[in-house]
Structure 1
Amino acid sequence: MALPEWDGELTSVRHDPDTGAWFVIGVHSTRLGPASGGTRAMVYDGVADAVADARRLAGAMTSKMAAAGLPMGGGKSVIALPAPRAELDDATWHRILHRHAANLNLLGGNYTTGPDVGTSAADMDVLATLTPHVFGRSAAAGGPGSSAPMTALGVFAAIEVGVAEAGLDGVEGLRVLVQGLGAVGADVARLAARAGGKLIVTDVDPARCTAAADELGAEVIDTGDVLSRACDVLVPCATGGLLSPATAATVPCTVIAGAANNLLTDDAAAEVLRRRGITYAPDFVANAGGAIHLVGREVLGWDAAEVTARTRAVGDTLAGIFADARAHDISTVAAAGRAAARTLADGPRPTSTAGAQR
């Protein structure tokens, strides 16, 4: 199939006729080190959509790794499933994982993957028996365990710095709207509640909302009200694409910082937020804690204290991005892109990789 132009290095597209699954690997950059990024498994409208998603996410991973100071490049895997995961039997799923491992091996270490939407640490355990090019295994299999706590910690650091940038005096008393109460969103909600925030939550799963209301005293709203409910801090922790230029023009909040990838449909949305005076923490910086945890612990051999310190430093990175955006009258996304470009231009930096072999 003919592929559109892209500024990345490699796109691999393969099909498994036995399962009907398509496998796309996008390697955006290996400038700082081997490309790294999770494997997303879901149903797509077509192969072209899967390719576009893999490429977009791979580019975001390049920026994320650069912003996090990790000696890795950006990549992403997308598995376009023939049916929702819940409808696939175990034999089909394992066949899909085996084929994915074979595709990873064909790249010879230029790309390493971990869990993402639709895949889990348990799936990484299976892949690790078939390829060395995987991270994010379960603790039982020798991996670092869930990245959710560190992702949430980094997001909350972004919230705190964003609140300060907006001229607000801490999280206490602020209306914090958390969209998506999966492992990361629920942890962010707990951190916000602990800091005295007035929680507003929503999720497609009513049971998660009930749990947040019972545990944290959160107010529950309908999922369709996320972009119309007034709040001080909007924390998107579900899927991406929430804010377009049109919705950015009306969203009633002061700060936006969340765990969702590719939160904005395009850079024009960031410019709309800038003109409205809304402080936006670019998602690839705010949610970098997960990558820091998985890559740091399993690939680079960092201990828990170093991973925690580097995750907290997400706030420092964002403070510099906010300052640059102010100084040059540009959006925070543009400022973050400038910072990532400088890191990429400087090239690889010496970084401890103790424990990289397993």
Structure 2
Amino acid sequence: MALPEWDGELTSVRYDRGTGAWFVIGVHSTRLGPASGGTRAMVYPSPGDAVADARRLAGAMTLKMAVAGLPMGGGKSVIALPAPRAELGEATWRRILEIHAANLELLGGNYTTGPDVGTCSADMDVLAGLTPHVFGRSVAAGGPGSSGPMTALGVFAAIRAGVAEAGFDGVDGLRVLVQGLGAVGADVARLAADAGAKLIVTDVDPARCAAVADELGAEVVGTGAVTTRECDVLVPCATGGLITAEVAETLPIAVVAGAANNLLADPYAAEVLRRRGIVHAPDFVANAGGAIHLVGREVLGWSADAVADRTRAIGDTLTGVFADARTHGTTTVTAAQDLAARTLTGEH
């Protein structure tokens, strides 16, 4: 496979004929400490797409750790499955986790992983029996449990900061569209509903939509309406690449803040959003609550309350990012990247 240049430190790629899975680990930076990032397991169009995703996500983790002030570097694992996980069977999945653990061991502690799309705390429990280089074990296994609630809390703090920057007096009465109703998206929806938002939801799983609509009185729209449905706040909590420059030109929104990694499909989309006056909370700032939860509890020994307070402070970080972007006439992505760069170089 042909791979483009990358500014990261290491890419590990392994194929296992027995399971048909490709294993990719991207270590982007160990400048602030050992690299860390979740394990994503899903079907990809090609091994090259899996490598590209791991590298993008690892770079975003470097920025996330730096902006959040955590003593860790950025990395990511991607397991490109031969079929959806539900179709693989328990024995095949167990073998995949064993191979993944062996790959982690080869890196000797320079990279530690946790749950991500397609994996969960129970999987981290299995990995922890095979390698010490794991975050995010279940509470029953002595870990801090799912990072989903803290990710959602941080995203909601980002929403609050975004609507304030856009000139709104709080979330009450605003139309908030949540895309993706997994563990994070569903919790964000609940927080928005509790704050008085007029909730709009969408998900590829109709059952999830129906459950959230019943629980919270949300309006359900089709997945194709995500970028065309008029609303005040768009909250992408599915996979990345939603907003291209072309999509950014017509988005009928005032604020975008969500949990999805690599939300922008191309860098120019951020400039289009800035030009149109749409407040954009960069994803690597908005979704840092999960990293704060795992690193704070398992590395730094913080209490649950300390983790929650640090996660809510994501809103303060974004308020500063928005101010810097306005002052210097840049996009919020550039302002947030500059903040991360200052941390990585010891200037912050």
Q: TM-score, normalised by structure 2?
A: 0.98
State the 4+ residue runs in structure 1 displaced beyond 2 angstroms: 1-4
Cα offset, 1:211, TM superposition: 1.6
Asked if 2 retains the 8 angstrom alpha-carbon contact of 1:43 and 1:84, the reply is yes
Task: Show CA shifts across 1:83-142 (max 9, x none).
Answer: 111110111111110000000000000000001111111110000000000001111111
Q: Distance in 1 between matches of 2:4 and 2:332?
A: 28
Asked if 2 retains the 8 angstrom alpha-carbon contact of 1:135 and 1:299, the reply is no
Q: Secondary structure at 2:140's aligned position in 1?
A: helix
Q: What stretches of structure 1 of length at least 5 have no aligned partner? A: 350-358
Cα offset, 1:2, TM superposition: 5.4
Instruction: Name the residue aligned to 1:242.
Output: 242
Q: Distance in 1 between matches of 2:238 and 2:293?
A: 20
Q: Distance in 1 between matches of 2:61 and 2:94?
A: 27
1:142 corresponds to 2:145: no
Asked if 2 retains the 8 angstrom alpha-carbon contact of 1:163 and 1:255, the reply is yes
Q: Distance in 2 between matches of 1:271 and 1:53?
A: 23
1:191 corresponds to 2:191: yes
Q: Distance in 1 between matches of 2:3 and 2:9?
A: 13
1:155 counterpart letter in structure 2: V
Q: Distance in 1 between matches of 2:22 and 2:215?
A: 41
1:263 counterpart letter in structure 2: L
1:295 corresponds to 2:295: yes
Cα offset, 1:18, TM superposition: 1.5
1:144 counterpart letter in structure 2: P
1:284 corresponds to 2:284: yes
Instruction: Name the residue aligned to 2:221.
Output: 221
Instruction: Name the residue aligned to 1:332.
Output: 332
Cα offset, 1:209, TM superposition: 1.3
| RMSD over aligned Cα atoms | 1.1
Asked if 1 retains the 8 angstrom alpha-carbon contact of 2:41 and 2:118, the reply is yes
Q: How do residues 131-210 of structure 1 correspond to structure 2 at under 5 angstroms?
A: 131-210=131-210
1:104 counterpart letter in structure 2: L
Instruction: Name the residue aligned to 1:64.
Output: 64
Q: How many residues align?
A: 348
Q: TM-score, normalised by structure 1?
A: 0.95
Q: Distance in 2 between matches of 1:160 and 1:2?
A: 42
Instruction: Name the residue aligned to 1:341.
Output: 341
Percent of paired sites with the same residue:
80
Q: Distance in 1 between matches of 2:4 and 2:198?
A: 46
Cα offset, 1:294, TM superposition: 1.3
Q: Distance in 1 between matches of 2:150 and 2:120?
A: 16
Q: Secondary structure at 1:140's aligned position in 2?
A: coil
Q: Secondary structure at 2:70's aligned position in 1?
A: coil
